Structure 1
């Protein structure tokens, strides 16, 4: 404090509070108009999304691309509405001033939201590419399920056991994704073992005839039956066929194929042996009998 000069801090504080209150009262009309602009933005966004949905539903656009169009329309309208509301509510506000004011803070924000931006870009690229549509059965990083929804940040995968897994888009974009339903049909296989004393030519013919009785197998694709290897107790045949690529169809067709093969081999008298294990000992085994057990046997 300068000698002889007395500062009235209470009066200065009151003056600043009064000035802030007066400024707040002055911008109340602007705030009201800004709120109205946000409300109109909400209405326009809903209306625009409905129009976009009607237009895209009439086309042959994929479901994930339709969602991308709706998201971009909604996001664009909200960005314009929020910018207009800020211009009305804050006198002197401009988009260029906002960008310039961020300065180094923009770099910090970029690092902080790196994962969000990465997933956002990955989501756009996933939606734009032709493969992996909604409804496809996929397997990625040990997760096997059906794609239910793709957003700009994450993908919803419903596993076959009915659990829902939400995966970041960057995981699906960076890692190998197996699309099991990319084609309408998919190959399946089973190993069939026959006894060593069986006629292999006859066994192969019986298996082929049995597979032809399975209705779910795609008829225009070949049925492959090959003797593969000498097993521990059987000669193993590899049986391959094509069926509809849906997971339920694959399981059902495999079940019908196994039943048909078993029925055909039984009718032909060809045995499907149990696993047999042979033990070899370096020295002959001695079998000892106790006198008590011998007397009890007598």
Structure 2
């Protein structure tokens, strides 16, 4: 039999089958379009319902994602059943079971970040807007997805951090509370009355508007340094990084001004040179 005729017959059969499948494919596409509208509408309803409660933004994102995922899974299943009449959910589960191991190894990182993202959204800490520090990354949490977290660094750049890193490593939340303790070291000369110096420093720190007076101010003599006795000065102010910079600037200025007014020296390192032999000093005019 002529191979060309065989190929021609096969192409004609394929074309006829494709034309016959066009109505079902069209219906499947319509189902997907309707699914998209329903998913968008359902997310809006979920947002409105969540807006009436005190749900955290991260948890609200998780609810929106799960609602959208559930609707799309149902819509895709319906479209596949219409496009392929022999397809059933049982056959899909069986097919997934056969390739589950291979899929698990191939998408291990994706599944790990997905699960970490769900757990991060569920936990109460690390809300959107918090300033965090993790693995050398310091910045504000802007958005949490099921794959990664958007962290806006203090210098303006945004870092996409995989959720598994934030879940498996210690995360320091700098703005978990609105107040935070800050500290600075102030040194005075060895001939200073330390009790007087401590009182002067404490009064100066309390005079700063950014310092929270109710929390108190600590002034501890902490070290005999090379040319000074050092005090560790601790106070409470706002927890944001800029609050810390501003309050530290004001505290240092106030301490310097108060010590100067009290006649207390803030020493700098002294260097004493010794020589094994006397150093001759020549008078003026001598060669």
TM-score bracket for the superposition, by shorter chain length:
over 0.9
The answer on 1:256 being equivalent to 2:250 is yes
For normalisation by structure 2, the TM-score amounts to 0.95
Distance between the aligned counterparts of 1:247 and 1:102, measured in 2?
49
Counterpart in 1 of 2:130?
A: 136
Distance between the aligned counterparts of 1:266 and 1:197, measured in 2?
15
Out of 185, 188, 192, the residue aligned to residue 182 of structure 2 is 188
2:85 is paired with a residue of what secondary structure? coil
Which entry has the higher C-alpha Rg, 1 or 2? Answer: 1
Counterpart in 1 of 2:218?
A: 224
Distance between the aligned counterparts of 1:138 and 1:20, measured in 2?
59
CA offsets, 1:42-92, max 9 Å, x none? 111111111111111111100001111111111111111111111111121
Counterpart in 1 of 2:51?
A: 57
Task: Summarize the Cα distance change of 1:159–1:285 in structure 2 as closer, same or farther, 3 Å threshold.
Answer: farther
Distance between the aligned counterparts of 1:295 and 1:261, measured in 2?
45
Counterpart in 2 of 1:157?
A: 151
Worse overlay, 88-97 or 24-33 = 88-97
CA contact (8 A) 1:149 1:155 kept: yes
Out of 36, 39, 45, the residue aligned to residue 39 of structure 2 is 45
Quote the offset at 1:218 in angstroms: 1.2
CA contact (8 A) 1:211 1:223 kept: yes
Out of 261, 266, 271, the residue aligned to residue 277 of structure 1 is 271
The answer on 1:72 being equivalent to 2:66 is yes
For normalisation by structure 1, the TM-score amounts to 0.92
Distance between the aligned counterparts of 1:257 and 1:185, measured in 2?
16
Counterpart in 1 of 2:238?
A: 244
Task: Summarize the Cα distance change of 1:103–1:182 in structure 2 as closer, same or farther, 3 Å threshold.
Answer: closer
The answer on 1:94 being equivalent to 2:88 is yes
CA contact (8 A) 1:153 1:169 kept: yes
Distance between the aligned counterparts of 2:57 and 2:97, measured in 1?
39
1:148 is paired with a residue of what secondary structure? strand
1:270 is paired with a residue of what secondary structure? coil
Counterpart in 2 of 1:112?
A: 106
The answer on 1:174 being equivalent to 2:168 is yes
CA contact (8 A) 1:188 1:254 kept: yes
Aligned alpha-carbon RMSD (Å)? 1.8
The answer on 1:19 being equivalent to 2:13 is yes
Counterpart in 1 of 2:26?
A: 32
Counterpart in 2 of 1:3?
A: none
Quote the offset at 1:103 in angstroms: 4.7
Distance between the aligned counterparts of 1:27 and 1:48, measured in 2?
31
Report how many residues are paired: 287
1:147 is paired with a residue of what secondary structure? strand
Quote the offset at 1:17 in angstroms: 1.3
